[in-house]
A = this chain, B = another copy of it.
């Protein structure tokens, strides 16, 4: 058994693949570009991951659950609702600031017919839907319907995720540089809780 190199090659490849797939999606990514970024011969990608699909899946299997976890972390604590929402935006936007390509990666992956991914949702642990049902039941006191809840959840995600998808467009319209945009997102952590909390029906 050979001792692994200082920087495990397999992981270097995965990291490079993550980088490239996140930015360009499956169709836009090139095996050669991934190899170059990993500083490694192209044949090594196949040696470790067999083919492009499998390499992509390796990336997807670590990124998708991370995103789901971020999307559902709001249901994991027992804080008062207002605190929960506030915490959610703070944490979620921070996560997106440091992983700003993930939303595009997820959206573009699911847009293409990369199925067998509904599969991953069911296997997700914790299951988003289970968490959401539980949360919903707890809110029954205020007579919130399932549809109200879905709308609320859609709002939550829309407000936090969309600005990272539309950054190229928005930054251009308003002539914002990266720093401007960063500070816009920073302020958003405070603005969004206020906005969303107002929208909740008082019990």
Binding site for B on A (CB under 8 A): 23-25, 27-28, 104, 106-108, 110-112, 117-118, 121, 128-129, 132, 147, 150-151, 154-155, 157-159, 161-163, 165-166, 168-170, 172-175, 184, 187-188, 191, 194-195, 198-199
Contacts and interface: CB of A to CB of B under 8 A. Distances in A.
Contacts of A172: 117-118, 121
Contacts of A107: 104, 107, 165-166, 169
A128 B112 CA distance: 31
Q: Lowest 10 CB-CB distances: which A-B pairs, in order?
A: A158-B162, A110-B168, A27-B27, A27-B28, A162-B162, A158-B158, A195-B199, A198-B198, A118-B172, A158-B159
A161 B165 CA distance: 11
A173 B128 contact: yes
A11 to B, nearest CB: 26
Nearest to A158: B162
A198 to B, nearest CB: 5
- Most chain B CB within 10 A, of A112, A118, A155, is at A155
Contacts of A147: 184, 187
A21 to B, nearest CB: 12
30 contacts: A24-B112, A27-B27, A27-B28, A28-B112, A106-B169, A107-B165, A110-B168, A118-B172, A121-B173, A129-B174, A132-B173, A147-B184, A147-B187, A150-B170, A151-B184, A151-B188, A154-B184, A154-B188, A155-B159, A157-B162, A158-B158, A158-B161, A158-B162, A158-B166, A161-B162, A161-B166, A162-B162, A162-B165, A195-B195, A198-B198
